[in-house]
Amino acid sequence: MSQNEKTWFVTGASKGIGLSLVRKLLDGGANVVATSRTLASLVDLIGPASDTFLPVQVDLADERSVQASIAQAISRFGRIDAVVNNAGYGLQGTIEGISDEELRRNFEVNVFAPAHVLRHVLPHMRRQRGGHVFNVGSIAGFQGGYAGWGIYAATKFALAGLTEALAAEVAEFGIKATLVYPGPVRTEFLSSGSLVIAQHNIREYTAAQALLDVHLDEMAGKQAGDPDKLASMIVQAAGAFEPPLHLFAGKIANGLALQKLAAVERDLATWREISDATDYPD
């Protein structure tokens, strides 16, 4: 089956990476099911339903809503070949200052919502003996040392662990899984509508405040990553004979990933002898 004959299911499709991806897929002739919190946003930005496009209003935090959207997709196109769990949002605030409600809501959207999608799409992929899952994470889910972004990073680390286990589980059915680690991408991620700043700021945490200022004052609107090129890379990975499990996007993400790997290697080497000695004797 060519890329143009496949059916894609894309969450968070009304802006950013999701919107770029949906437009690129439709231009290439693929069938696309696009989800957003409001149907009007999809129709305004992409267009009404057509032979190849199905816009669906979904509350990703509501499993029944997710299940219904996947049923619509199967009813319309007969199959789902690729899923892109792209929806999510940033949460900024210190671990001490973020409320339980704010923490749980971030996990609800960034982790539990993709799990809802997978729970209901995988039975179809198993029956058709194939498919590809793309979970859009963040470089903060690989290199998490960002003051003030700990909970957001935790959601993306969780998504990374889920994706790695998923890849091992579904390989026998011909299903692939790829975790996308974007660096800073020029989307609305740092805008007031997409970034949640914890209500309880703790002034003593100067490092967290300084990094927030950098993001809002210096980086917003100037991020290095191009969402259209990132979308093209996802399509390219979907067509690869051996797609990557870990797919980093952008020079910044690549550089930070290499820094993290080097730091882990240093810790391993420094503590290797002591660490090995914690086992029972042979």
Known catalytic residues are 152
- The span from the CA of 80 to the CA of 174, in Å, is 14
- The span from the CA of 185 to the CA of 221, in Å, is 9
Reading the block at residue 275, the tokens are 């660490």
- Sorted by sequence, the CB contacts under 8 Å of residue 31 that are 6+ apart come out as 6, 7, 8, 52, 53, 54, 77
Cα 162 to chain centroid distance, Å, stands at 11
Please report how the helices 63-77 and 113-128 are oriented relative to each other, as an axis angle in degrees rounded to 10: 30
Longest dimension (CA), the chain: 67
